[in-house]
Chains A and B, each alone.
Chain A
Amino acid sequence: MADLSCTTAGIKSPNPFWLASAPPTNTGYQVANAFEAGWGGAVWKTLTDGQPIVNTWSRYGALDYNGVKMMGFNNIELITDRPLDVNLREIYEVKKRFPNNAIIVSLMVEATREAWHDIVKKSQDAGADGLELNFGCPHGMSERGMGSAVGQVPEYTRQITEWVQEVASVPVLVKLTPNVADVRYPARAALEGGADGVSLINTINSIIGLDLDTLAPRPTVAGWSSHGGYCGPAVKPIALNMVSQIATDPQTAHLPISGIGGVSNWKDAVEFIALGASSVQVCTAVMHYGFRIIEDLCDGVSNFLDERGMTLDELRGASVERIHEWKELDLNYVINARIDQDKCIGCGLCYTACEDGAHQAIFSERRADGRTYVEVKPDACVGCNLCSLVCPVDGCIEMVEIPNDFERCSWEDVTSGNGTLAPRPVHD
C-alpha cells in the first residue's frame, strides 16, 4: 500500500482526496461520515455572514448520455443556508474528532475588508486547517457581487486575497472559475494577492437541458429556471486543461493546485495529479454513489503507484513537461491503424467512421460467409485514431508507429526553415 499522505499548500491530509465544497459537506454529520469512510479532507460548504441564504426547492439537473446517468450535472443551489454559528460549532466538533483529516473552510462574503477579516478569524477559531475563497460559483451569488463575479475580475481576486492574508494564520486557497477567457490571469492575480494555492475548476455556466414535455428549462422552478453550475464526468477534460495551463505557466508553475472537475475514479485522480495537482476534490461522484467510493479511489491510486514503484510525489506533475504548444509537436511522427483480423467481429463501425467522419482510409467488403471484412488502406491512413476510438473490441485496432528516415520536425522548424517534412497521404 503506497503512502498517499500529502500536503497541499501546507494543508496536510492522509490522502489526496477531499470532498469539494458542495452538498456532501453541508453538515458535520456528513463530513464525519466521510472521514469515517476514509476521505482525506473536506472543503466545508461555503460559509457566509450577512444576508440570509434561501434556496429554491428544485436545484439539480442531470445530463444523461446513451443510458449513462449523470454524465454531466448542474445545480442552482446557493452556498450554505444553515446558520454560521451552527456550521462553526460543527467544524470545531468534527476537527476535534478527526484531528488528522483536513478541514478546509470555503468562504464567501460581501466585498469589504471587515467582512472578510471577520469570517476568516471565526473560521480559524473553529479549527480550520485551511481556507478556500469561493470566487467561482457562477449562479445566484454572482448576482450579488460574489462568487464568479469576483473570480472573473483579476483585480478583485487579488484585492480580496490580500485582505484575507492580512489576518490568515492558515493556508489560503483561491477557488477559480472556469467562466473566463483564460484561467491563467485570475490564477496570477491570486498569486499576486498572496494565495498559498488555487483550487479549480469551479462549475461552468450552463443550461443543463429542457423538459421536452413542457419545454421548461431544467432544473425547473415553477416553470422557470436559471443558468446553473455544470460539473460531473463530462467536464473533466476542460478541468484537466485548465490545471495544466496553470502548471505550465511560468508565473504560476509552482503554485500548489487542488484539482477539481469530474473526478469520479482513481484514474481521473492520477491524471489531475500527473498534470500538477497536489490534491483532488470530488463532489458529483459522491452525490451519485456516496462516500463509499473513497475505498477504490485510494486503492486504485495505491495499486497504480505500487505497480510502478512510484511515490505520490514522483507522480505529481509527471506529465506537465509533455504539454506543449501545437507548433512544437513532431510532424514526422507517423502512425497507421492496424486491424487485428482475428479479433475483428465485423461490426463495420471503423469503416463508417473513417468513410464519413475521417479520411476514407478503410476498405470494406461483405465476404461470402456474410461477414463484413474491413482493412486499412495504408496509403490513405493519416493515423488520426478515429477507427481505434470507435472500435468496440479491446486491442482490435491499434495505432502502430511507422518508422521513417526523417528527423523530428515541428511547424516551428518548418516555418523557420530548419526541418524537412516526411511525405504524407495526398487527398484529391
Chain B
Amino acid sequence: MADEAGLRISPFADYKPLMDRGAALVEANRCLNCYDAPCTRACPTSIDVPSFIKKIAHDNLRGSARVILEANILGASCARVCPTEELCEGACVLHDLHEEPIQIGRLQRYATDPVVLGQKPLFQSAPPNGRRVACIGAGPASLGCAAELAQLGYEVVAFEKASEPGGLNTYGIADYKMDYATALAEIAWVKELGVNVQCNTEVGKDIPLASLFEDFDAVFMGVGLDGVSAIGIPGEDLEGSQDALDFIAELKTRPKEEVSLKGLSVAVIGGGNTAIDAVTQASRLGAERVYLVYRRTRERMGAYAHEQELARRDGGIFVLEAAPAEILGEYGRVIGLKCQKTRSDAQGGLEPVPGSDFVLEVDRVFRATGQAKHRAFFEQLEGLEVDDRGRVIADEDGRTSVERLWTGGDCVSGGQEVVNAVAEGKRAAQSIHQTLEGAR
C-alpha cells in the first residue's frame, strides 16, 4: 500500500477511505440507534449495526470490532466491498428525512481495521474437540465456515488451488475497493483463530477428493465459480482479448506500472459488477477510452446503480444495446471490436438490427459476461444435485445431497456478495457443528 500522501493522489485511492476519530465520532453520533434497526435486518450477516456504532461513539473500538466480527469474520473486507448502498445504508431510516444515510461501511472499517490489520487477537478458540473439517477452496464462504468451526474447537484445513487464499476477495475486486495486501492481511488474522490454509493444492488434482471424506468428519465446498467463458465470437484468441477477472487479478498482484493501459483504448463486454470494476480499473490505469458494451438497455444491467455511476464518473463510455460480433485483429493483436446494434422485444427477447454494424477501435477487449460453473468438478461428487444452470443445490443450512458435504457461496448462489458467502459459510458451520456434536 502506498504511503498516506500517495493514497490521496493515487488513482487507486480508497473508495471509502478510513475515517479519523473526529469524523467517526460525528458520524457515529448521527446514528439514531433505531429499535429493530432496518440496517441490521438488511445485513446478510445480521451485524448489530446500532450497537457497533454506539460503541464507536463511546470510544469502545475493541467492543465495536467484536460486535462486527462475531457476526461476520470478514467484517474488515465487507466494510470495503459490501454494496452498502443496497444493503445497510440503503435501509437507513434517514433516507426518509431526506438526509444522507449513516456511513455504516466506513464506520465498520474504522472499528475493524485496527483489530484485523493490526493483527490483534479478539476471539478465543474452544479447546480442540477432536473433529476435523475440510474446506474446498479458501474464499469468503470457506473462510466464514472455517473461522466459525475453528472457534468451536474443530481442526479445519482449507485447500486452495491458488497461490494465496481469499478467492475473489483477494483477486477479483477492483483495487480501490479492496487491495491485495489488505485482503491477505485479513486472512492472516483469520488464520490466527486456528484455520489452516493449504495453498497451491487443488482438490481432485493435487489431493484426491475421496481422501477428504476419509480423513475429515465433514467437508465444506466453497469453490465459487470458474473463469469467464468464451463468448463464441471470432477473434477471442487474439492477444489483448482477456477474461476481465484475469485482468483485475493481474493488476492487483503485479506492480501497477507493469499493467498500465496508458494511451490504449479498451472495450469491456458485459453489464454486471465485474464489468464495472474492469471499466473503472482500466480507466484508472490510464486508458484513453474505455467502452462498456452491453447487449441490453441500462435498466437491464446487473450492476448496481451506484456502481454504474462510479464507472461513468471514471469516464466509462456506455455502448448499450450492442452485441459483440467479432474481435478484429492485425498481426495477432486486437485492433477493434465489431458490434451490432440490438433491439429488445416486449418479451425481453433480443434480436440484432440488420445493417447496424459498427467498429470500436480498441486495443484490449475484456469479457465480463458471467462466470462459468465448476460442472466438471461437481460431476466427481457422486449424487451431488445441481440445478439446470449448474448451481449446487443446498438447503438453507448449506447441506447438499451428498452425505457429510456442506456448501455455500457463489457455487450455490451463482454469484453474490462477499457478505452473502460469509453468512452462508457460517450457517453451514453451525449446521456441521449441530450434526457432528449432536450425533455424539
Contacts and interface: CB of A to CB of B under 8 A. Distances in A.
Interface in A331-382: 345-349, 351-352, 364, 366, 370-372
Contact of A347 (B26, B28, B29, B32): B32
Interface in B73-113: 91, 93-94, 96-97
Contacts of B36: 348, 364, 366, 372
A68 B35 CA distance: 24
Contact of B32 (A68, A349, A364): A349
B25 interface: yes
A403 interface: no
B57 A346 contact: no
A347 B32 CA distance: 7
B298 interface: no
A324 B83 CA distance: 57
B40 to A, nearest CB: 12
A393 interface: yes
Interface residues of A, number: 17
A12 to B, nearest CB: 43
Given A66-B29, A67-B29, A67-B57, A364 B96 contact: no
A393 B97 CA distance: 8
Contacts of B33: 349
B34 interface: yes
A351 to B, nearest CB: 5
A347 B96 CA distance: 10
Given A351-B35, A364-B36, A370-B38, A345 B97 contact: yes
B35 A348 contact: yes
Interface string B49-92: 00000000100000000000000000000000000000000010
**Interface of chain B, main secondary structure:** helix
Interface in A55-93: 66-68
Contacts of B32: 347, 349, 392
B132 interface: no
A372 B91 CA distance: 12
A349 B26 contact: no
Contact of B28 (A67, A345, A348): A67
B41 interface: yes
Contacts of B38: 346, 370-372
A366 to B, nearest CB: 6
Bin chain B's interface residue count.
10 to 19
A122 B93 CA distance: 64
B120 to A, nearest CB: 18
Contacts of B26: 67
Contacts of A392: 32, 97
B34 A372 contact: yes
B177 to A, nearest CB: 27
A370 B96 CA distance: 14
B41 A370 contact: yes
Q: Which of A67, A364, A393 has the most CB of B within 10 A?
A: A67
**Interface of chain A, main secondary structure:** loop
Contacts of B93: 345-347
Contacts of B94: 345
A366 B29 CA distance: 25
A132 B104 CA distance: 52
A87 B34 CA distance: 55
B35 A347 contact: yes
Interface string B144-159: 0000000000000000
Nearest to A372: B36
Interface in A28-80: 66-68
Interface in B360-383: none
B25 A67 contact: yes
A352 B26 CA distance: 23
Interface string B30-46: 00111111100100000
Interface string A102-117: 0000000000000000
Interface in A293-308: none
Given A66-B29, A67-B25, A67-B28, A348 B34 contact: yes
Nearest to A64: B25
B294 to A, nearest CB: 32
A345 to B, nearest CB: 4
Contacts of B57: 66-67
A392 B99 CA distance: 12
A285 B197 CA distance: 59
Nearest to A356: B35
Nearest to B41: A370
Nearest to A346: B93
A424 to B, nearest CB: 27
Q: Which of B29, B32, B41, B57 has the most CB of A within 10 A?
A: B32
Contact of A346 (B25, B28, B29, B96): B96
Q: Which of A68, A345, A347, A372 has the most CB of B within 10 A?
A: A347
B41 A347 contact: no
Contacts of A348: 34-37
A114 B41 CA distance: 75
A351 B34 CA distance: 10
22 contacts: A67-B26, A67-B28, A67-B29, A67-B57, A345-B94, A345-B96, A346-B34, A346-B38, A347-B32, A347-B34, A347-B93, A348-B34, A349-B32, A349-B34, A364-B35, A366-B36, A370-B38, A370-B91, A371-B38, A372-B34, A372-B36, A392-B32
Top 8 A-B pairs, shortest CB-CB distance: A348-B35, A67-B29, A345-B96, A345-B93, A347-B34, A66-B29, A67-B25, A352-B35
Interface of B: 25-26, 28-29, 32-38, 41, 57, 91, 93-94, 96-97
Given A67-B25, A392-B97, 8 more contacts: A67-B28, A345-B94, A347-B34, A349-B33, A349-B34, A349-B35, A372-B35, A393-B97
